[in-house]
Amino acid sequence: MTSPALTWVAGGSGLIGRELLQQLADTPVLALLRRPLNGLPDSPHRQQAIVELHQLPANLPAPQRVFIALGTTMAQAGSQAAFRAVDFDAVLAVARAARERGATHCGVVSALGADARSGVFYNRVKGEAEAALAGLGFERLVIARPSLLDGERQALGQPHRAGEAWSLRLARPLTPLIPKAWRPIRADRVARALRLALDQPGPAVQVLESGDMQSLGAP
């Protein structure tokens, strides 16, 4: 009997990454982290590797698929170069390392409005990352483009995002009136939609827009 295929998850300390780790608790998972992650329910299938994401060690076990939920903000990064180092360089480094080790499937969290030709720096970097990932030759690449994430970052030990918190405070009471494409979306729905899509047959590159994930990711 062959062993179940291994999944890498990069970005497990964030809202969507944490949800992915919980939803994949019954399958072999290697969480790629910059620091140890606490607070998750125990799973005999989950391991953690404390690594430098820009240059992963050569001795990591080979995955069959990889989920990448890395991301920061301009305010947290402090500069465009530091932002790009996370949202482009680290994302691409993890994906390339997985592909070189034989991974055939990749699921990545991007953002609403991602466009490599955008005049908005944030959207442009996200779009450039998507294009670079598409060039790595995965049999299946699923790109999730969520709107504003609805979740409690501080409960995960993440820095407070004042702009996000204020936007959520304003948007939550108006959620039924906001079109699905733009309304805030729960992190568990994004994780579920991304995971289920990657497990299904489909085109080499598939984009999940936020409105689609509101329904696809519903329990």
- What pLDDT was estimated at residue 2? 41
215 — pLDDT class (breaks 50, 70, 90): confident
- What pLDDT was estimated at residue 179? 66
**Residue range 81-106: mean pLDDT, rounded:** 97
- What pLDDT was estimated at residue 170? 52
What letter represents residue 126's amino acid?
K
Q: For the chain, what percent of residues have pLDDT higher than 70?
A: 84
161 — pLDDT class (breaks 50, 70, 90): low
**Residue range 43-62: mean pLDDT, rounded:** 94
Q: What are 17-50's pLDDT values in tens digits?
A: 999 999 999 999 999 999 998 888 788 899 999 9
Say yes or no to pLDDT of 164 above 80. no
In CATH, which of 1.10.1200.10, 3.40.50.720, 3.20.20.70, 3.40.50.300 is domain 7-149+186-210? 3.40.50.720
- Residue-range domain boundaries for the chain: 7-149+186-210
- What pLDDT was estimated at residue 177? 55
Phi, psi of 167 (to 5 degrees): -65, -40
- What pLDDT was estimated at residue 143? 98
> Tokens for 39?
């607070």
- What pLDDT was estimated at residue 203? 96
120 — pLDDT class (breaks 50, 70, 90): very high
Query: 12: Cβ–Cβ under 8 A, 6 or more apart, which residues?
Result: 18, 20, 21, 31, 32, 33, 37, 69
- What is the chain's mean pLDDT, rounded? 88
Q: Are 19 and 190 in contact (CB under 8 A)?
A: yes
151 — pLDDT class (breaks 50, 70, 90): low
Q: What are 169-213's pLDDT values in tens digits?
A: 555 555 665 567 768 899 999 999 999 999 999 999 999 999 999
- What pLDDT was estimated at residue 51? 96
Residue whose entry in the numeric block shows the structure tokens 């108006």: 174
| DSSP line for 43-103 | -TTEEEEE--TTS--TTSPPPSEEEE-----HHHH-SHHHHHIIIIIIHHHHHHHHHHTT-
Q: Which helix (H) or strand (E) holds 151?
A: none
Q: Which helix (H) or strand (E) holds 163?
A: helix 162-171
